[in-house]
Structure 1
Amino acid sequence: MKKLSAAFGTLPMTWPVVCVSAAIIGIYVGVINQIPILYDTSFRDIAVTYEWWVLFALLIVSNCESAREAGMKCLVFFLISQPIIYLIELPTLGWDKAMYYYLHIWLPISLLTLPGGAVAFFAKKQNVLGAVILGIGNTIVALMGVSYFLKLYSAFPRHLLTVISCASIIVVLILGMQKRWKTRILSAATTVLLTAGVIIWAVLNERVI
């Protein structure tokens, strides 16, 4: 447990580490997307939804000294990793599709990581505010897990690893970032309640999760 907590507070998350990590992850995801046999499987889901990117972002911000630093490093991480992915994908996606996906989806998300990273910095605080902020972040991961769980009915076991990964990421983040059982329970409860609320809203309004 101590080693897990150490990852969220004692890693040397310097600017070179952030930039090199972003480049390596960007290259990996871009290459994975070029392998046809991995299409519509857990191995390619990292390029489609946000669960792993939430983990990467929280690893960065939890190892920063200030909210300003957290926001800046999170922004730079995404501004490096995402363009690399689409540059590698250009031969298969084509310029128009690559620009559409990046400009309309990932660039806005990347820009939002500046204020988002600053807010997420407080998720490591060992109090009610930290627990609730972490719970909100974990809700994103939980909704991705629910979405892929629903896909398992028609595509088993293509996304099974993603469902397991989403559950694991939530557990790792709660146990790693919150050190007190009271705040861990509060963070888990926040995740469950928000996830349930979004699912109920989606069902009532006939929306896809």
Structure 2
Amino acid sequence: MKKISAAFGGLPMTWPIVCGFAVIIGIYVGVINQIPIMHDTSFQDVAVTLEWWVLFAVLIVSNCKSAREAGLKCLVFFLISQPVIYLIELPAIGLDKALYYYTSIWLPVSLLTLPGGAIAFLAKRQNALGAAILGVGNTIVALMGVSYFRQMLGSFPRHLLTVVSCAAIIAVTVLGMQRKRRTRLLSAAITVLLTAGIAAWTVLSGRTL
């Protein structure tokens, strides 16, 4: 438990580490997208959906000293990692498609991490506000897990690792970010209730997760 807590507040998240981390993740995602056998598997899911990116962001913000620092470091992490991905993919997908995907999807997402990182920094607070912010963030991960679980049922064991990873990410962030039993339970309850509510709404409205 102490080792988990240390990862969320005890790591030296300096600017060089943030930039280096971004480059490493960008290279991994860019390379994994070029391996056909990895397509539609847990190893490529990090390039498709947000669950791992949520964890990366939480690791960064939890090791910052202020909301301003958290927002800026999250922004820089995404502004570096995403272009690295598309630079590696450039020979395969072409400049036009790379620019389209980046400017229409990941650039807006990256810019949102500035205020998002500052807000996520408040999840460090050991109170209802911190638990609620973490619970909402983990809802994104939970919804990804539900979506991949449904896909896994039709093509087992594809995406099994992603489903397990989503559950692990939620557990680790709750245990690492919140120190009190009641705020941990509150955060987990918010994630469960929001996920159940959104999942029910998508089913009733004929949509898919």
TM-score, normalising length: structure 2: 0.99
1:46-100 deviation digits (Å, cap 9, x = unpaired): 0000000000000000001110100000000000000000110011111122112
Q: What amino acid is aligned across from residue 81 of structure 2 in structure 1?
A: S
Structure 2: gaps of 5 or more residues: none
Distance 2:45 2:56 in 1: 15
Structure 1 residue ranges, 4+ long, deviating more than 3 angstroms after superposition = none
Pairing 1:107-146 to 2, within 5 Å after superposition: 107-146=107-146
Deviation, 1:153, is 2.0
Q: Deviations along 1:134-179, whole A, 9 cap, x unmatched?
A: 0001000000000000001221111000000000000000001101
Query: What SS does the aligned partner of 2:41 have?
Result: coil
Match of 1:41 in 2: 41
Structure 1 residue 45: Cα displacement? 0.2
Alignment of 1:154 onto 2:154: yes
User: Which residue number corresponds to residue 94 of structure 1?
Assistant: 94
Task: Name the counterpart of 1:7.
Answer: 7
Aligned counterpart, 1:17: 17
1:15 deviation in Å? 0.5
CA shift for structure 1 position 25:
0.8
Q: Which amino acid aligns with 1:111?
A: L
Question: What secondary structure, in the 3-state scheme, does the structure 2 residue paired with 1:44 have?
Answer: helix
Runs (5+) with no aligned partner, structure 1: none
Inter-partner Cα distance in structure 1 for 2:2 and 2:208:
39
Match of 1:59? 59
Give the structure-1-normalised TM-score: 0.99
Please give the per-residue CA displacement for 1:21-48, whole angstroms capped at 9, x wherever unaligned: 1011101111111111000000000000
